[in-house]
Amino acid sequence: MKGRARRAGGRALFKALLAVFGLVLSVVLLSTAFFKWNLSGGPGPLLQPRFPLGQFVRDLPGHLVWLVPFMLLQASLIPLRAVQWQSTLRRPVPLKERYHLVAIGAFVHNALPGKLGEIMRSFLLSRTQRIPFLRCLGSVGVCKLMEFAALMLLVTLSLLGPFGQTLSRFEGELKVAVSLCVGLVALVVLLAHWSGPLAFALHKRHKLPRVVGFLHHVSEGLGTARSFTGMAKVFVYSVGPVLASALAYGLALQGIGISGGLFAGAVVLGAISLGQSLPGVPAGMGIYYFVTSWAARSLGASPEDAAAFSTLTHLGTVISQVAVGAISVHLRKIRVRDLRKGGSLAREAAHHVAHDAVEPART
């Protein structure tokens, strides 16, 4: 008992230290949008403001002209992803159902800690449609992968626009991103093709029943990836959400005075996606402000406009998706406390992640 208590205490301490580390790292990264860090030890304070902060706050209302269409485009991601989701599901699910689940997932992702939005929408689909959880999660995974592929294509096409020379500085990072995308697509296709036969072979030999169950559900969840036509269909449906989001960021860049900024929205979106996809880095908000402000300054924005771009695009995304998601949460009569980490629905979803993957397949 003492050993268990000691281990539990050690895990709690590790989680607390990780949370503190994440908070400090996020604050440091976020501050780079507004301050320069004087780490050379030269004259002046450690933090040097990039611009007068008081004037910055007073000028924020002037950006409403582009913030409103930005928020509308970000809100449109929810119905577009609801349409996209059916292309990876093996069974027809009503559009209304898919819409509400995507909206609830967006609410959880943006309003509650833990970034459990995709897990939550997969869990709720599993619960309402009686589909195994891993199959639902696999369908969402294919959607996200095809969005990433569509984004990489859009970023590549952006190099042909008026910012071609400016964006060429990102050519090395783009090659890495495209290679990562191709590798992930290849991995998903391999899993889709071979997880089923491998599960069958293990089942015949009466070996590793839990692994058999896991592979069986993975095979079903990634079923769309077993055919070129299926993947192409998902890719086509993935263009809508990516194009809407890239257009939103392009309008914002144009709004802060960057001529031809519409063509650079995809690049900024790609930088955000890559920056926030780093595993094990609990500083998503800080990374967002660091990446977006740096990208805007690189494209010619003033430090003040770059900081406004970071601040308002972040707030606009959160407010628009939380507002739309909150309507679905209300209509479905779900209590917010049940969606929080530690709430009943969140606990059940976490339980599925931890245990469903190792349940034997039912025949």
* pLDDT tens profile 223-281: 666 677 878 888 999 999 999 999 999 999 999 988 878 888 888 888 788 766 554 45
In degrees, rounded to 5, the angle at the alpha carbon of residue 356 between the alpha carbons of residues 353 and 357 is 80
14 within some domain: no
User: Residue 338 in contact with residue 345, Cβ under 8 Å?
Assistant: yes
**Mean pLDDT lowest for which of 152-161, 228-237, 279-288?**
279-288
Crossing angle of helices 209-221 and 133-158, rounded to 10°? 50
pLDDT confidence band for 78 (50 / 70 / 90)? very high
Question: pLDDT at residue 347 above 80?
Answer: no
Domain annotation covers residue 91: yes
Residue 261 falls inside a structural domain:
yes
How are beta strands 35-37 and 47-49 bridged, if at all? antiparallel
> Would you say residue 20 lies in a domain?
no
Rounded to the nearest integer, the mean pLDDT of the chain is 80
Q: Provide the pLDDT for residue 360.
A: 42
Q: What is the pTM of this model?
A: 0.81
Is 259 within the bounds of a domain?
yes
Q: Is the pLDDT of residue 215 over 70?
A: no
Residue 29 lies in a domain: no
Residue 125 lies in a domain: yes
Report the number of distinct structural domains present in the chain: 1
Measured between alpha carbons, how far is 319 from 331 in angstroms, rounded to an integer? 18
The phi, psi pair for 37, rounded to 5°, reads: -90, 120
Amino acid residing at 136: C
The pLDDT value recorded for residue 34 is 92
pLDDT average, residue stretch 38-44: 68
pLDDT at 130 over 80: yes
Structure confidence at residue 211 (pLDDT): 61
pLDDT at 29: 87
**Domain limits for position 250:** 51-357
The string of DSSP codes covering 241-308 is: HHHHHHHHHHHHHHHTT-TTGGGGHHHHHHHHHHHHT-TT---HHHHHHHHHHHHHHHTT--HHHHHH
**Within a domain: 188:** yes
